[in-house]
Every structure is written in C-alpha cells, then in structure tokens.
Chain A
Amino acid sequence: MTTTPLDNEQVLQLKQDFPLLTETQVAGHPLVYLDTGATSQVPLAVADAERDFTLRHRAAVHRGAHTLAVEATDFFEDARATVSRFVGADPYSLVWTSNATEGLNLLSYAMSNATAGSNGSEHAERFRLGPGDEIVTTQAEHHANLIPWQELAARTGATLRVVPVDERGLITPQAVAATLSERTKLVAFTHVSNVTGAITDVPGVVAEAQKVGALTVLDACQSVPHMPIDFPALGVDFAVFSAHKMLGPTGIGALYGRRELLNALPTFLTGGSMITKVTTEHAQYLDSPVRFEAGTQRISQAVAWAEAVRYLEKIGMDRIEAWEAELGGRLARGITEIDGVRLLGPAPGVERVGLASIDVAGVHAHDVGQLLDVAGIAVRVGHHCAQPLHRELGLTASTRASTYLYNTTDDVDRFLDELSRVRGYFRAEGA
C-alpha cells in the first residue's frame, strides 16, 4: 500500500487549527515557524482538552472514591492507553515523566539504586554496574542522552564508551558493534539526530547490543512526532519522548520500557501513590507504571497529550512522515544549491526527516538566525544541546530548520530564499 502524503492545500487548511501560526507577525512578516525540533506548536483542540479537563473534570487520580475522582482517573488512564497505543505499547509499559530528559535520568538513577541495592532492587541484578562494566552512548547524542550516563558511570565506577559517528554524522550498527564488548551493560542512542535529521538503523543497533546481552535505550524525541513508531517491533528495551515536540503541552513526557524490565527496575522518586505497604522503616513498591510515578501527576497535561495523539492519528502518521520527507528533501536540495552553505548530515536524496542544519561559510549561526528572524522566519541557532557532535563536525554552532505537518513547501522556499542572501549581507568572503 502506498501512502499519499499531505499536500500544500491540506496543510494550509489544517494550519487554521493553530492560532499562533496564522495570527503571528514577526517584524511585519507572517511567521514561518521552522523550529519544531525545539518545540512544536499546539492546535486549538489540544488547548481546549486541557482547559475542559481543568474546568470540568479536575480531581486527584488513584486516590479518591468520589464520582469526580473516578472520572478523573478514567481520563488519566485513557490518556495513558492512547499515548502507549500510539507507540505500539501496552499501558503498563508507559511511565509519565516531565519530559524525555527526566525519563533518561530516571533510568540512570534507578540503575545506581540497583547498584546500591536500594529502592526495591530485589530483582535488579541486570541493572547493577561496577568497575569494568561499560555503558555505551554515541557522539551524536543530545546532552540529555549523554550526561545522565556520564554521571551514572561516575557514581558506579563503570566506564563510559562513545560510538564515533561517520563522516556524515551518522551512527551505524557497525560502529556500535566495534564499541561493544562482553562487559557492555547498556547502549543508549538516538533514533533521529536533532542536528542532522539522520535516521538510525534501530533494529541493526539492537541486534548488535543483544549479541552481548546489553540493554538498549532509545532517544525517540525526534522520531515519535514524525513517523509511525512501534517500540516493541523496534526491539528496544527502553525509550523516551516528550509531548511538547508533538503538538502536546510542556511538562509531560514518557518513558517506555518492556514491562518485565520496568517491574524489576528499582524506583527513582519515592513517596505517595507508588507503594503497597509502608512502615516507618520500610516501603514496598507497586509495579509499573505507577511504581515510577511518585506524588501527584501531570493530569491535565496527560489528557491534552492524548488529544494531540488523536489529532495526529486522524491525519495519519504515515502521511505526515511522507510529507516531511518531501519537505526535508526540498530543504536539503535547496541548501546544497546555495554557494558557501554546507549541509550537515545526509546528502540530498538520502533518507532524512524534515530537519536540516547548516554551516554558512564566514557567517556565524547567530547572525544567520538574526537575518532570518527579521524576515519572520524562526529557526534554531547554536549547538542544539549537542556540543560533541558539533565539535566532531568542526563547528561550535549551526543553524537548524525543522518542519512539521503544518509547514508548506512555501515555508521551506521562504527560508531558502532568505538564506541565499545571508553571505552577501554579511560581506562574507567570496559572496
């Protein structure tokens, strides 16, 4: 079955659902929003869902017996069922966190707790780390998928090993395999790079990790919003993603984990709602997902996130993916046609999402972004929380354009048009 991508006409229609995109003027120009890689915009339906829950259904969940509390609990757990189904998982495998970063820190601290023998670590043997054990991550990671592992290594005495990227900035299963050893306990890697837009061969990396019996952790921040995802089919043990990059609210994200692993994993934050029996000396913990959800949760945010998922499902993730592949290809081709502008990551024609970063010869990214901003075009400049990858590419900063289902080919063309003026304006050599 072939997918029909969205088209410009449909995109312009659905753009009407996003007041910020249709109403905002920047420096006298209608806004062109090309910074979804940092955070997406939100359709009315999502904001309305949060407001409706807050004004009409709000109550503590999993705590009361009154009608409203039961109803609120249903909303909350329906939201979990919706978001987990979206990534091919059952609700027991999906833990709410405040964002992807917190999900990775939860794993990192739970593994320290396994090492210390605390926090319900009766069945946590496979999460224990010590001197000689190895944690593997890659050069392409967002700092969120690097620093928690650096710190875990420091706390446990394990060694952190880093998979080098190839000359295009890609992680390959071969490079991962070359970094693995019998002592590798965990491999943490990104699905889609937030700098290059390159897509990692996830099953290929998982197969290598499984050969040495290592756990896998996938940073799915830039993939879940943009393509159909099925974590169990990808074979990863854990994965994280954030609502705010996929039409949802800020303040909520999720940790996916294989259920038996989550039930064996020691807890991280402790307190109310996640326990069975508590004495003044000791506590016993519930199973996943509430095992990791101490204290009052982000209820209205979960409800709104589920609405965002329904919005995406109504359009169809396969159609969104196909449309963004078109936009990404147009970006990549257009960029390589401009003199003195270097496209980072995969060449045009090679698979990428609707995201591209560039280096403009003789002009700093901050200045590129300033010129675009004055033309009403919002892009990201800087290191995008990926300093090691920039260093490897010989840069300290780059300029990134990233799309979503609400971007037209005209948005991409306006970006390319302004970009073609940058070197001339700044009198860069040879311009």
Chain B
Amino acid sequence: MSAELDQLYQTIILEHSHKRSGETEQDVSSAGERSGVSHQYNPTCGDEITVRVAVTAGENPTVEAVEWNGEGCSISMAAASVLSEMAPGMTLPELEAMIEHFREMLRSRGQVAPDEEILGDAAAFAGVSKFVARVKCAMLSWVAVEDAVNQAASKARTT
C-alpha cells in the first residue's frame, strides 16, 4: 500500500494499537490520594479515554503508574499505550517537556523533526503531523495524562 500511509501507520504504532500497555479492564475513573483522573472525548469521531496517573509522595514526585480505559482509532490507542510505557519513572518536569515536544511536533505539519532523545518510541508519531485530521487522535491521551498528572501532583504536594 502507499508509502504515505506507511509513514502514518509505522510498525511501532500498529503493534501498540493491538497490545496496548496501560489499558486495564478495571474502572479507572476514581482517583486516590496520590493520583489524578482525566476524561477526554473527541466529539468529531467519538474517541474517548479515561486516564488515571499515580505519582510518588514527596517534594519532587515522579510518575508511578498510568492506567486507562478507552476506545478509539489505532493512532489514539497506540499513543496512549506508548505514553503508558514511557511515563513511569519520569519526573514531572521531564514528562511535561516530553508532552510539550510531542505537541509541537504534531502541530508542525511535518516541519518539526522529532528529537528521539526526548520522545523515544513516541517519535514514531512524526508521520501523524502531515495528517492534520489525525493530530487530535494522537494528542487525546497525552492531554489526559497531562491533566491527570497535574491533579495528582497538587495532591501529592499537599499530603
């Protein structure tokens, strides 16, 4: 099939869309003491995700775990899976920097090359940036994680 399509659907993306790290059967919609929950919905295509992110206690928390329930296209599911593998162990500034670069790359219409040092496997989503209609698919879970981690962090600091 077309080379253009293969750029969008890199092997890593197709694999993650099937095996889906972080996806759980359990309901993740309630947050605990050091976790935050975010629900994101894309009304155009109906893609939907609920993410729960837990962080460690203390002054400088790191991400402990990412779990999610969701439904959507291969791009949105793979993006959630890749982030669920990468985020645990990251400090919050590291996570924020990675999300920021991911966002910048996706919005660049192919102009911003991925920095693989920062993005790791998520660099495979570079091809998405040329398919403007799919950028939201890739961002959905990342926006959810960003939101959930901020909630978790503010709780972790006050407890």
- What residues make up the interface of A, taking CB atoms closer than 8 Å to B? 27, 363-367, 370-371, 374-375, 381-383, 387, 390, 396-397, 421, 425-427
CB atoms of B5 and A374 under 8 A apart? yes
Q: Across the interface, which residues of B come within 8 angstroms of A397, CB to CB?
A: 45-46
Cβ-defined contact, A366 with B2, below 8 A: no
A144 CA / B159 CA spacing, docked (Å) = 48
CA distance A164 to B9 in the complex (A): 39
A366 touches B137 (CB 8 A): yes
Interface residues of B in 64-119 (CB under 8 A from A): 71-75, 77
B77 to chain A, nearest CB (A): 8
A365 to B45, CA, bound (A): 9
Given A364-B73, A396-B71, A426-B74, also A371-B1 (CB < 8 A)? yes
A371, A382, A425: the one contacting B44 at CB < 8 Å is: A382
Contact: B74 with A425, CB < 8 Å?
no
Across the interface, B1 reaches (CB within 8 A) one of A365, A390, A421, namely A421
The 7 lowest CB-CB distance pairs between A and B, nearest first, are A366-B73, A364-B73, A396-B46, A374-B5, A397-B46, A382-B45, A374-B2
Tell me the smallest distance from the CB of B27 to a CB of chain A, in Å.
18
Query: Is B2 within 8 A of A27, CB to CB?
Result: yes
CA distance A397 to B44 in the complex (A): 10
Give the distance to chain A from B129, nearest Cβ to Cβ, in Å.
Answer: 14
CB distance from B114 to the nearest CB of A (A): 20
Additional 10 contacts, C-beta under 8 A, given A382-B44, A387-B46: A365-B73, A367-B73, A370-B131, A371-B5, A396-B47, A396-B48, A397-B45, A425-B9, A426-B9, A427-B14
* Most chain B beta-carbon neighbours within 10 Å: one of A367, A383, A426, A427: A367
Q: In the complex, what residues of B have CB within 8 A of residue A364's CB?
A: 72-74, 77
CB distance from A131 to the nearest CB of B (A): 32
Which residues of the other chain, A, contact B46 by a CB distance below 8 angstroms?
382-383, 387, 390, 396-397
**Interface size of B by Cβ–Cβ distance < 8 Å?**
23
Report A-chain residues with C-beta under 8 Å of the C-beta of B44.
382
Per a CB cutoff under 8 Å, which of A367, A375, A421 touches B74? A367
Chain B hits for A425, CB < 8 A: 1, 5, 9
> Which A residues lie within 8 Å of B155 (CB)?
none
Which A residues are CB-close (under 8 A) to B4?
Answer: 27, 374
**Chain A's nearest CB lies how many Å from the CB of B61?**
34
Given contacts A364-B72, A364-B73, A426-B74, contact A370 B134 (CB under 8 A): yes
| Chain A positions within 8 Å of B14 at CB level | 426-427
Closest-by-CB residue of B relative to A368 is: B73
B156 within 8 A of partner (CB): no
Name the residue in B1, B44, B77 with the highest tally of chain A Cβ atoms < 10 Å from its Cβ: B1
Residues of A contacting B45 in the complex (Cβ-Cβ under 8 angstroms)? 365-366, 381-383, 397
Interface residues of B in 2-25 (CB under 8 A from A): 2, 4-5, 8-9, 14, 17-18
Q: Which residue of A lies closest to B5 (CB)?
A: A374
Closest to A395 in B: B46
Residues of chain A within 8 A of B134, CB atoms compared: 366, 370
Q: A381-B45, A382-B46, A427-B18 known; A374 and B1 CB under 8 Å?
A: yes
Once bound together, how far apart are the Cα atoms of A396 and B46, in whole Å? 6
CA distance A381 to B17 in the complex (A): 19
A363 CA / B46 CA spacing, docked (Å):
14
Q: Are B5 and A370 in contact (CB under 8 A)?
A: yes
Interfacial chain A residues near B74, Cβ < 8 Å: 363-364, 367, 426
Minimum CB distance partner of A429 in chain B: B18
**A390: B residues at CB distance < 8 A:** 46
User: How far, in whole Å, are A390 and B71 apart by their CA atoms in the complex?
Assistant: 14
Residues of A within 8 A of B77 (CB): 364
Can you list 26 A-B pairs, Cβ within 8 angstroms, ordered by A? A27-B2, A363-B74, A364-B73, A364-B74, A364-B77, A365-B73, A366-B72, A366-B75, A366-B134, A367-B73, A367-B74, A367-B75, A370-B8, A370-B134, A374-B1, A374-B5, A381-B45, A382-B45, A383-B45, A383-B46, A390-B46, A396-B71, A397-B46, A425-B1, A425-B5, A426-B14
